[in-house]
Amino acid sequence: DVKVTQSSRYLVKRTGEKVFLECVQDMDHENMFWYRQDPGLGLRLIYFSYDVKMKEKGDIPEGYSVSREKKERFSLILESASTNQTSMYLCASGGQEPQHFGDGTRLSIL
């Protein structure tokens, strides 16, 4: 069975902290994605990667960076967390489309 695993289901951090969200997929997909989901705004793409060490900005990359050192792992980094980054973060991987999502990480920045 296909699997996208996000490191944490719930996370609480403080303003100004550097936050790492990890995502691992076991389907050998080239493409991986990070989204955030907020009420009334839907899913918004932060960054995506179509190969190891390759990354592309999505619609809302400000305040975030990503790392793809290995094909199966895609990390989202909040350089200096702020309260407006409190959200549900979803990782996805896919061949031609983001078919498979992880369970999501509900991140709260205090």
Contacting positions for another protein (CB under 8 A): 31, 33, 35, 40-45, 48, 50, 56, 58-59, 90, 96-104
Query: Least distance (Å) from another protein to the CB of residue 43?
Result: 4
Cα gap 13→17, rounded to integer Å: 7
Report DSSP state, residue 2.
Answer: -
Kindly tell me which of 31 and 75 has the beta carbon lying closer to another protein. 31
Q: What is the distance between the alpha carbons of residues 41 and 86, in angstroms, rounded to a whole number?
A: 14
Q: Minimum CB separation from another protein for residue 88, in Å? A: 9
* Complex with another protein: residue 22 or 101, whichever CB lies closer: 101
Query: At its nearest, how many Å lie between another protein and the CB of residue 18?
Result: 25
Residues facing 19 on adjacent strands? 78
The answer to whether residues 75 and 58 touch, using CB atoms and an 8 Å cutoff, is no
